[in-house]
Amino acid sequence: MKRASVMNLAVGLVILFAGLTSGCGYNDLQGLDEDTKAAWSEVINQYQRRADLIPNLVATVKGYAEHEKETLEGVVQARAQATGIQVTPELLKDPAAFEKYQQAQAGLSSALGRLIAIAENYPNLKADQNFRDLQSQLEGTENRIAVARKRYIDRVAEYNKMVRYFPTNLTAKFLLHLDEKPNFTVADEKAVAKPPEVKF
């Protein structure tokens, strides 16, 4: 008789726990956490793809624009800084480290923009098939980065809402020990908010 009571109590506790966890977003939070990690992995993958294109791009430009040494060195340094940051799962838990990574990637984007812009001064460089191929691959990669970042932003927004909304916030905080994840921000919000000047 006691054995049956203990068994019934155990089954009852399992059913109670399952009911509580399903109603409090336990599985949803776990799923969203995995979705954000997958979206972040895609962002990292695209940043790495861009970093892998840079040595060939710099070598091609160097052949035509040797006296653009400062620009070329700037790209190499920006790449070293961006790829030198250790990307670990903890990066997503540390807003300061995430911001540092974001700034390094923005610096690399800026340096690459300057490198591509100097091609306008070198018609032979612009005509080089290898340069055009690399430029096309870089443009495609920048588009992929934008798409991957957008997906990550969307997943993090959904995840952060779930972590903050009642009653799932209780599950996130006390059962799973989950916090909000950092998201991408605009580097200079004032500059973006200001409408462009049009002169006639």
**Nearest alpha-carbon partner for 108 in 87, 133, 83, 134:** 83
pLDDT of residue 21: 52
What would the DSSP string read from start to end of 168-189? HHHIIIIIS---PPP----TTH
pLDDT at 187 over 80: no
Pairwise CA distance, residues 171 & 179, whole Å: 11
Is 19 or 177 the better-scoring residue by pLDDT? 177
Identify the structural domains of the chain with CATH numbers, from first to last. 40-147 (1.20.1440.20)
Pairwise CA distance, residues 140 & 136, whole Å: 6
Does residue 107 contact residue 77 with C-beta atoms inside 8 Å? no
**Model confidence pLDDT, tens digit, residues 81-136:** 998 888 887 788 888 888 899 999 999 999 999 888 888 888 888 888 988 898 89
pTM metric for this prediction: 0.76
Q: What is the largest CA-CA distance in the chain?
A: 94
> Can you tell me whether residue 197 is helix, strand or coil?
coil
**Nearest alpha-carbon partner for 75 in 116, 112, 23:** 112
pLDDT at 64 over 50: yes
pLDDT band, residue 186 (cuts 50/70/90): low
